[in-house]
Structure 1
Amino acid sequence: MFARAKSFFRYVVEGQPVTLIRNGHLYVDACLYAGLSADRLMAQLRGQGVATIDQVKFAVMEQSGQLTILKNSEKNLCFPLITDGQLNIDVLDVLGYDRTWLMDQLAVQGYTRVEDVFLAEYSDGKLKLVPYPVLSTKTTPKN
Protein backbone atom coordinates (compact mmCIF):
# COMPACT_ATOMS: atom_id res chain seq x y z
CA MET A 1 0.00 0.00 0.00
CA PHE A 2 2.83 2.37 0.91
CA ALA A 3 4.53 1.74 -2.44
CA ARG A 4 1.37 2.59 -4.35
CA ALA A 5 0.76 5.75 -2.32
CA LYS A 6 4.38 6.74 -2.92
CA SER A 7 3.99 6.18 -6.67
CA PHE A 8 0.85 8.35 -6.70
CA PHE A 9 2.72 11.23 -5.07
CA ARG A 10 5.62 10.74 -7.48
CA TYR A 11 3.13 10.89 -10.37
CA VAL A 12 1.73 14.16 -9.01
CA VAL A 13 5.20 15.69 -8.54
CA GLU A 14 7.05 14.28 -11.57
CA GLY A 15 4.19 13.80 -14.00
CA GLN A 16 4.13 11.28 -16.81
CA PRO A 17 5.88 11.08 -20.16
CA VAL A 18 4.33 13.38 -22.77
CA THR A 19 3.69 12.14 -26.30
CA LEU A 20 4.98 14.75 -28.75
CA ILE A 21 4.78 12.95 -32.08
CA ARG A 22 2.71 9.98 -33.22
CA ASN A 23 2.85 8.59 -36.76
CA GLY A 24 4.42 11.78 -38.12
CA HIS A 25 1.85 14.06 -36.47
CA LEU A 26 3.31 16.71 -34.14
CA TYR A 27 1.24 17.65 -31.09
CA VAL A 28 2.03 21.34 -30.66
CA ASP A 29 0.06 21.62 -27.40
CA ALA A 30 2.11 18.76 -25.94
CA CYS A 31 5.35 20.48 -26.97
CA LEU A 32 4.24 23.70 -25.33
CA TYR A 33 3.16 21.80 -22.20
CA ALA A 34 6.60 20.17 -22.05
CA GLY A 35 8.29 23.57 -22.52
CA LEU A 36 9.83 22.48 -25.81
CA SER A 37 10.29 25.02 -28.60
CA ALA A 38 10.22 24.03 -32.27
CA ASP A 39 13.96 24.79 -32.55
CA ARG A 40 14.84 22.63 -29.55
CA LEU A 41 12.60 19.79 -30.76
CA MET A 42 14.19 19.76 -34.20
CA ALA A 43 17.70 19.93 -32.70
CA GLN A 44 16.93 16.89 -30.55
CA LEU A 45 15.47 15.03 -33.52
CA ARG A 46 18.53 15.82 -35.67
CA GLY A 47 20.75 14.68 -32.81
CA GLN A 48 19.09 11.27 -33.06
CA GLY A 49 19.37 11.07 -36.85
CA VAL A 50 15.87 12.26 -37.72
CA ALA A 51 15.63 14.83 -40.50
CA THR A 52 11.84 15.31 -40.61
CA ILE A 53 8.87 14.67 -38.32
CA ASP A 54 7.45 12.32 -40.97
CA GLN A 55 10.22 9.85 -40.07
CA VAL A 56 8.93 9.54 -36.49
CA LYS A 57 6.50 6.82 -35.49
CA PHE A 58 6.46 7.86 -31.82
CA ALA A 59 8.32 10.47 -29.76
CA VAL A 60 7.86 11.04 -26.07
CA MET A 61 9.37 13.54 -23.65
CA GLU A 62 10.36 11.56 -20.59
CA GLN A 63 10.01 12.95 -17.05
CA SER A 64 13.80 13.37 -17.06
CA GLY A 65 13.58 15.76 -20.03
CA GLN A 66 15.07 13.21 -22.44
CA LEU A 67 13.38 12.74 -25.79
CA THR A 68 12.78 9.08 -26.69
CA ILE A 69 12.13 8.44 -30.38
CA LEU A 70 10.89 5.43 -32.32
CA LYS A 71 11.52 5.92 -36.03
CA ASN A 72 9.22 4.42 -38.64
CA SER A 73 12.07 2.12 -39.70
CA GLU A 74 12.61 0.73 -36.16
CA LYS A 75 10.64 -2.21 -34.85
CA ASN A 76 12.10 -3.53 -31.60
CA LEU A 77 12.52 -0.52 -29.35
CA CYS A 78 11.22 -1.40 -25.91
CA PHE A 79 8.66 0.94 -24.38
CA PRO A 80 7.02 0.46 -20.99
CA LEU A 81 3.28 -0.20 -21.23
CA ILE A 82 2.79 0.10 -17.48
CA THR A 83 4.86 2.12 -15.05
CA ASP A 84 4.08 2.43 -11.36
CA GLY A 85 0.66 0.83 -11.85
CA GLN A 86 -0.34 3.35 -14.56
CA LEU A 87 -1.13 2.32 -18.15
CA ASN A 88 0.53 4.29 -20.94
CA ILE A 89 -2.30 4.17 -23.49
CA ASP A 90 -0.19 5.97 -26.11
CA VAL A 91 2.37 3.16 -26.16
CA LEU A 92 -0.41 0.58 -26.34
CA ASP A 93 -1.84 2.44 -29.34
CA VAL A 94 1.53 2.70 -31.10
CA LEU A 95 2.01 -1.05 -30.68
CA GLY A 96 -1.39 -1.62 -32.30
CA TYR A 97 -3.07 -3.19 -29.27
CA ASP A 98 -6.00 -2.20 -27.09
CA ARG A 99 -6.86 -2.43 -23.40
CA THR A 100 -8.67 -5.77 -23.93
CA TRP A 101 -5.48 -7.32 -25.32
CA LEU A 102 -3.48 -6.00 -22.38
CA MET A 103 -5.96 -7.30 -19.81
CA ASP A 104 -5.86 -10.72 -21.52
CA GLN A 105 -2.06 -10.68 -21.33
CA LEU A 106 -2.17 -9.75 -17.65
CA ALA A 107 -4.65 -12.58 -16.98
CA VAL A 108 -2.39 -15.13 -18.70
CA GLN A 109 0.35 -14.14 -16.26
CA GLY A 110 -1.98 -14.25 -13.25
CA TYR A 111 -2.89 -10.59 -12.78
CA THR A 112 -6.26 -8.88 -12.98
CA ARG A 113 -5.41 -5.21 -12.46
CA VAL A 114 -2.97 -2.79 -14.06
CA GLU A 115 -2.48 -1.24 -10.61
CA ASP A 116 -0.80 -4.47 -9.41
CA VAL A 117 2.03 -4.11 -11.94
CA PHE A 118 5.09 -2.02 -11.13
CA LEU A 119 6.50 -2.27 -14.68
CA ALA A 120 5.37 -3.94 -17.90
CA GLU A 121 7.61 -3.86 -20.97
CA TYR A 122 6.78 -5.07 -24.46
CA SER A 123 9.77 -6.21 -26.47
CA ASP A 124 10.33 -8.78 -29.20
CA GLY A 125 6.65 -9.73 -29.19
CA LYS A 126 6.56 -10.51 -25.48
CA LEU A 127 5.11 -8.72 -22.47
CA LYS A 128 7.32 -8.89 -19.38
CA LEU A 129 5.65 -7.99 -16.09
CA VAL A 130 7.25 -6.91 -12.83
CA PRO A 131 4.56 -6.84 -10.13
CA TYR A 132 4.52 -4.93 -6.91
CA PRO A 133 5.63 -7.14 -4.02
CA VAL A 134 2.81 -8.89 -2.20
CA LEU A 135 2.67 -7.77 1.40
CA SER A 136 2.49 -10.68 3.78
CA THR A 137 -0.19 -10.69 6.46
CA LYS A 138 1.79 -13.14 8.57
CA THR A 139 3.36 -11.84 11.74
CA THR A 140 6.97 -12.44 12.55
CA PRO A 141 7.40 -14.90 15.42
CA LYS A 142 8.77 -13.36 18.59
CA ASN A 143 11.68 -15.02 20.36
Structure 2
Amino acid sequence: MRKLVIAISMLAFAGSAAFADPIMDRQALMKERGKIAGGLSKVVKGEEAFDSAAVLTALQSLQANAEKIDVDALFPAGSDKGDTTASPKIWEDTAGFKAANDKYVADVKAAVAAAPADVDALKAQFNTIGGDCGTCHEGYRIKKG
Protein backbone atom coordinates (compact mmCIF):
# COMPACT_ATOMS: atom_id res chain seq x y z
CA MET A 1 0.00 0.00 0.00
CA ARG A 2 2.95 2.29 0.66
CA LYS A 3 4.02 2.00 -2.99
CA LEU A 4 0.47 2.90 -3.99
CA VAL A 5 0.59 6.09 -1.92
CA ILE A 6 3.94 7.11 -3.43
CA ALA A 7 2.76 6.37 -6.96
CA ILE A 8 -0.45 8.35 -6.43
CA SER A 9 1.51 11.31 -5.09
CA MET A 10 3.76 11.31 -8.14
CA LEU A 11 0.78 11.04 -10.49
CA ALA A 12 -0.98 13.90 -8.74
CA PHE A 13 2.09 16.09 -9.15
CA ALA A 14 2.49 15.14 -12.81
CA GLY A 15 -1.18 15.83 -13.45
CA SER A 16 -1.03 19.39 -12.17
CA ALA A 17 0.11 20.93 -15.46
CA ALA A 18 -2.23 23.24 -17.32
CA PHE A 19 -4.50 21.68 -19.94
CA ALA A 20 -2.69 21.77 -23.29
CA ASP A 21 -4.49 19.08 -25.30
CA PRO A 22 -7.94 18.39 -23.88
CA ILE A 23 -8.13 14.82 -25.17
CA MET A 24 -4.71 13.84 -23.83
CA ASP A 25 -5.28 15.74 -20.60
CA ARG A 26 -8.63 14.12 -19.82
CA GLN A 27 -7.24 10.70 -20.74
CA ALA A 28 -4.31 11.26 -18.36
CA LEU A 29 -6.69 12.24 -15.56
CA MET A 30 -8.86 9.17 -16.18
CA LYS A 31 -5.81 6.89 -16.21
CA GLU A 32 -4.71 8.42 -12.93
CA ARG A 33 -8.22 7.94 -11.54
CA GLY A 34 -8.19 4.31 -12.67
CA LYS A 35 -4.89 3.62 -10.93
CA ILE A 36 -6.10 5.14 -7.68
CA ALA A 37 -9.40 3.25 -7.86
CA GLY A 38 -7.54 0.08 -8.75
CA GLY A 39 -5.48 0.36 -5.57
CA LEU A 40 -8.59 0.88 -3.48
CA SER A 41 -10.26 -2.03 -5.25
CA LYS A 42 -7.47 -4.33 -4.08
CA VAL A 43 -8.23 -3.37 -0.50
CA VAL A 44 -11.98 -3.84 -1.02
CA LYS A 45 -11.37 -7.29 -2.54
CA GLY A 46 -9.06 -8.29 0.31
CA GLU A 47 -6.02 -8.52 -1.94
CA GLU A 48 -4.31 -5.89 0.21
CA ALA A 49 -4.69 -5.26 3.92
CA PHE A 50 -6.85 -2.37 5.07
CA ASP A 51 -4.64 0.46 6.30
CA SER A 52 -6.79 3.44 7.31
CA ALA A 53 -4.07 6.03 6.70
CA ALA A 54 -3.19 4.68 3.26
CA VAL A 55 -6.87 4.38 2.31
CA LEU A 56 -7.52 7.96 3.37
CA THR A 57 -4.51 9.14 1.36
CA ALA A 58 -5.82 7.27 -1.68
CA LEU A 59 -9.29 8.76 -1.22
CA GLN A 60 -7.76 12.23 -0.90
CA SER A 61 -5.85 11.61 -4.13
CA LEU A 62 -9.08 10.54 -5.77
CA GLN A 63 -10.68 13.78 -4.58
CA ALA A 64 -7.79 15.86 -5.92
CA ASN A 65 -8.12 14.07 -9.24
CA ALA A 66 -11.91 14.59 -9.29
CA GLU A 67 -11.52 18.30 -8.61
CA LYS A 68 -9.23 18.67 -11.65
CA ILE A 69 -12.06 17.76 -14.00
CA ASP A 70 -13.17 21.03 -15.56
CA VAL A 71 -15.79 19.94 -18.06
CA ASP A 72 -15.62 23.16 -20.07
CA ALA A 73 -11.81 23.05 -20.37
CA LEU A 74 -11.43 19.31 -20.91
CA PHE A 75 -14.41 18.78 -23.20
CA PRO A 76 -14.48 21.85 -25.47
CA ALA A 77 -16.42 21.78 -28.72
CA GLY A 78 -14.54 19.79 -31.34
CA SER A 79 -12.71 17.57 -28.86
CA ASP A 80 -15.05 14.71 -29.68
CA LYS A 81 -12.93 14.04 -32.78
CA GLY A 82 -9.65 12.14 -32.69
CA ASP A 83 -8.33 9.40 -30.43
CA THR A 84 -11.09 9.52 -27.83
CA THR A 85 -13.79 7.32 -26.39
CA ALA A 86 -15.80 10.32 -25.22
CA SER A 87 -19.36 9.90 -26.47
CA PRO A 88 -21.04 12.65 -28.50
CA LYS A 89 -23.68 12.58 -25.74
CA ILE A 90 -21.26 14.67 -23.62
CA TRP A 91 -21.78 17.60 -25.98
CA GLU A 92 -25.46 16.82 -26.58
CA ASP A 93 -26.23 16.64 -22.84
CA THR A 94 -23.54 18.77 -21.22
CA ALA A 95 -25.79 19.57 -18.26
CA GLY A 96 -26.35 15.87 -17.56
CA PHE A 97 -22.65 15.14 -17.93
CA LYS A 98 -21.77 17.95 -15.54
CA ALA A 99 -24.40 16.71 -13.07
CA ALA A 100 -22.94 13.18 -13.20
CA ASN A 101 -19.45 14.59 -12.63
CA ASP A 102 -20.69 16.78 -9.76
CA LYS A 103 -22.28 13.75 -8.09
CA TYR A 104 -19.01 11.84 -8.39
CA VAL A 105 -17.06 14.73 -6.87
CA ALA A 106 -19.58 15.05 -4.00
CA ASP A 107 -19.46 11.31 -3.29
CA VAL A 108 -15.65 11.26 -3.26
CA LYS A 109 -15.60 14.29 -0.93
CA ALA A 110 -18.09 12.52 1.36
CA ALA A 111 -15.85 9.44 1.44
CA VAL A 112 -12.89 11.60 2.46
CA ALA A 113 -14.94 13.46 5.08
CA ALA A 114 -16.17 10.19 6.58
CA ALA A 115 -12.84 8.41 6.39
CA PRO A 116 -13.59 4.69 6.48
CA ALA A 117 -12.64 3.03 9.75
CA ASP A 118 -12.67 -0.47 8.29
CA VAL A 119 -12.91 -2.37 5.04
CA ASP A 120 -16.71 -2.68 5.28
CA ALA A 121 -17.10 1.10 5.42
CA LEU A 122 -14.70 1.43 2.49
CA LYS A 123 -16.73 -1.14 0.52
CA ALA A 124 -19.90 0.90 0.96
CA GLN A 125 -18.17 4.11 -0.13
CA PHE A 126 -16.40 2.39 -3.00
CA ASN A 127 -19.68 0.93 -4.26
CA THR A 128 -21.17 4.42 -4.39
CA ILE A 129 -18.13 5.88 -6.13
CA GLY A 130 -17.96 2.93 -8.52
CA GLY A 131 -21.62 3.41 -9.33
CA ASP A 132 -20.88 6.99 -10.28
CA CYS A 133 -18.08 5.80 -12.57
CA GLY A 134 -20.40 3.24 -14.14
CA THR A 135 -23.07 5.86 -14.79
CA CYS A 136 -20.62 7.99 -16.74
CA HIS A 137 -19.04 5.08 -18.57
CA GLU A 138 -22.42 3.75 -19.66
CA GLY A 139 -23.87 7.08 -20.70
CA TYR A 140 -20.96 9.20 -21.80
CA ARG A 141 -18.27 6.86 -23.08
CA ILE A 142 -17.97 4.83 -26.26
CA LYS A 143 -16.95 1.25 -25.57
CA LYS A 144 -13.78 0.14 -27.33
CA GLY A 145 -13.77 -3.06 -29.31
Q: TM-score range by the shorter chain?
A: under 0.3
| Structure number with larger C-alpha Rg | 1
TM-score normalised per structure 2: 0.27
Q: More relative contact order in 1 or in 2 (CA 8 Å, sep 6+)?
A: 2
More helix by share: 2
More strand by share: 1
